[in-house]
Amino acid sequence: MSNQSSDKKLVKRVQRGDKGAFDLLVLKYQHKIVNLV
């Protein structure tokens, strides 16, 4: 499974209220988020 595909699945889960999926996305992209801020 590609990163983009797994990210899309995580986003779908987040949209359905899955807090665990949100945590996974934050952990995966936190360095990019911090650099953006």
Q: What is the pLDDT of residues 5-18, one digit of tens each?
A: 999 999 999 999 99
pLDDT at 1 over 80: no
Spell out the alpha helix ranges (H) of 1-37. Answer: 3-15, 19-36
pTM of the predicted model as reported, rounded to 2 decimal places: 0.75
* Mean pLDDT, rounded, for 4-31: 96
Residue 2's pLDDT band, with cuts at 50, 70 and 90, is confident
Tokens found for residue 26: 């934050």
For 20, the domain range is: 3-36
State the total domains in the chain: 1
- CA 8 remoteness from chain centre: 8
Question: What pLDDT, on the 0 to 100 scale, is given for residue 25?
Answer: 94
